[in-house]
Amino acid sequence: MAVEKRKEGLSDIISKLDYDIWFVRFFRLRTKVIIYLLEAEQDDFLKEEDRHMYERFRNRQRAQRNPIYWRGAGTVIMEPTEDVVALRYLRDSDTAIMTRHAGALHATFERLKHDAHGILNYFNKLEFFGCLGTSVKDVIDRNPEADEQELVLAALRGIKQLLSEWSRRYLHSGTLNVVDEEKLMKLTAEARYP
């Protein structure tokens, strides 16, 4: 009986720590998105290695057959094409984002995916990437000639808005267990969302 009680207590500690770790990762992602927005507004978000990555991707051998740069969670990024064979790679349920700036969006999505590690899971990744895709698609629908900076800013603003919504939905003040929430908020007051 004592062993079971001890196991129960330790399991409770693990769940509290998991919540705090998720909160810190979430707060880190929100702060990074703000930094990315500041960089994107100065047209300094995509680095040289990002540009090399999507140039290599564009020049890959199978690019003629499969024009998709990124696919995940019901969203597809690809360069515009009228090729019927290439369009077969799309699924009916996909939100297709066709733009000549597919490489820049690919790099943006990949960076956000990497930064959201530990936050995204099976339950929320569709909402996360769906928000990215919808934000960009809305800009393209309004202005088919939107430039790279406009599309990257749209993706980042969409994620900023989603994270703000998640903050209201999932995070409640006074629920942290180990992390000093007040100290964390003081240190990063400028990163707080309105």
What are the tokens at 79? Answer: 């360069």
Instruction: Give the pLDDT confidence score for residue 22 in this predicted structure.
Output: 86
Instruction: Give the pLDDT confidence score for residue 20 in this predicted structure.
Output: 80
Instruction: Give the pLDDT confidence score for residue 186 in this predicted structure.
Output: 64
Instruction: Give the pLDDT confidence score for residue 77 in this predicted structure.
Output: 87
Per-residue model confidence as pLDDT tens for the chain (194 residues)? 788 888 888 888 788 788 888 888 988 999 899 999 999 988 888 887 777 766 666 666 555 566 778 888 888 888 887 766 667 667 776 788 888 888 889 889 999 999 999 898 888 889 999 999 999 999 999 999 899 899 999 999 999 999 989 888 877 666 666 666 666 666 555 554 44
Q: To the nearest 10°, the Cα dihedral for 9, 13, 15, 20?
A: 160
Instruction: Give the pLDDT confidence score for residue 194 in this predicted structure.
Output: 45
Regarding pTM above 0.85, the answer is no
CA atoms of 85 and 174, how far apart (whole Å) = 55
Amino acid identity of residue 141, one-letter, is D
Q: To the nearest 10°, the Cα dihedral for 158, 161, 163, 169?
A: -130
CA atoms of 177 and 15, how far apart (whole Å) = 10
Q: How far is CA 75 from CA 25, 93, 124, 187, in A?
A: 24, 9, 14, 36
Nearest to 103 by CA among 137, 80, 74: 80
